[in-house]
Amino acid sequence: MKKWLWGILAGGLVVLLAWLFLPALPFLRGAPVAQIYAEPRDGVAPLTVLLVSVGANRTNEELQVEWTVDGSVVSNQSYFHHRLNTVGQHTITLKVIDQRGKSSTDSVTINVPVGRILWSANGPVEGMPCIQVYEPADPAPWAKNYLCSYQDLGIKWSSAGPIADMRCTQITEPAEPVEHGWTDNYLCVPESSSLELEWSNAGPIAKKSCIAIRVQDKHGWKNNALCYSLNSKDEAQKPAE
């Protein structure tokens, strides 16, 4: 067969293949790459985490985004804040889907450890015994401030002096005006409790377990800490972290 005829046939074959497969070329491209940026990766509950989709997309087209936390869909935004209210390890998964239906996923684990005692400025922590800490005479917003513990340690709050038959620790803030009532506020535990509490207006106490007590109040409350200790029996009962 003459060369010119081979040329015609080859050219026709190229045209035919192009006609058949060019419309399908977009589908031959790689799937978008899902990647999660999460900050912070651990912390006590309630923990607010920033989640951002930072994966690669070769075609720069808009992607469909789906976020799930522990198996439940929570958002379709490229970035958002999510609050984790319960202790434990939480699996966060991002799925991205391009316009051709191709997809990929990425997952991270956020650790919210069990704490002996923790402070929440966002309401009670789900699944933990909590007590509200407030002073009725203080005009600052104290309604969402709670002290929580990994188990019921018998802690009680009083804004009217020590509670009878309990060991009580005074909670004060020197910068609070007298009329705001912070002169007779106490955290109390049963006399039989092995929990020892100590209050500090100068930050954590050396060689003690302490939690920072921060509230939205312009009168001090910037360097206060509640420190505590437990005997070996209570430590043994603490759930594994």
Which is nearest to 202 in space by CA: 227, 179, 178, 185?
227
Boundary of a domain, candidates 94, 112, 130: 112
Query: What distance in Å separates the CA atoms of residue 93 and residue 112, rounded to the nearest whole number?
Result: 17
Q: Kindly state the tokens that stand for 71.
A: 């198996």
Q: pLDDT confidence of 1, banded at 50, 70, 90? A: low
Q: Are residues 106 and 127 in the same domain?
A: no
pLDDT tens digits, residue range 76-133? 999 999 998 776 789 999 999 988 888 999 999 998 765 578 899 889 988 889 999 9
Residue 2 pLDDT grade (very low, low, confident, very high; cuts 50, 70, 90): low
Instruction: State the Cα–Cα distance between residues 47 and 137, nearest whole angstrom.
Output: 29
Q: What amino acid occupies position 194?
A: S
DSSP state of 6: H
Check whether residue 44 and residue 72 sit in a common domain: yes
pLDDT tens digits for range 187-200: 999 999 888 899 99
To the nearest whole percent, how much of the chain has pLDDT over 90? 47
Number of domains making up the chain: 2
Cα(153)–Cα(52) distance, rounded to whole angstroms? 39
The structure tokens 């003690």 sit at 208
- Residue ranges making up the domain that contains 75: 30-112
- Cα–Cα dist 102/81, whole Å: 26
- As a whole number of angstroms, the distance between CA 215 and CA 139 comes to 13
Q: Which of 72, 88, 112 is the last residue of a domain?
A: 112
> Which CATH number fits the domain that encloses residue 60?
2.60.40.10
The rounded distance, in Å, linking the Cα atoms of 14 and 64 is 36
Considering 22-26, 122-126, 135-139, the range whose residues carry the highest mean pLDDT is 135-139
Examine the domain organization and report whether 158 and 212 are in the same domain. yes
Whole-prediction pTM: 0.51
What pLDDT is recorded for position 36?
95
Q: Assess whether 93 and 130 both reside in one domain.
A: no
List the beta bridge partners of residue 72: 69
pLDDT of the residue at 130: 94
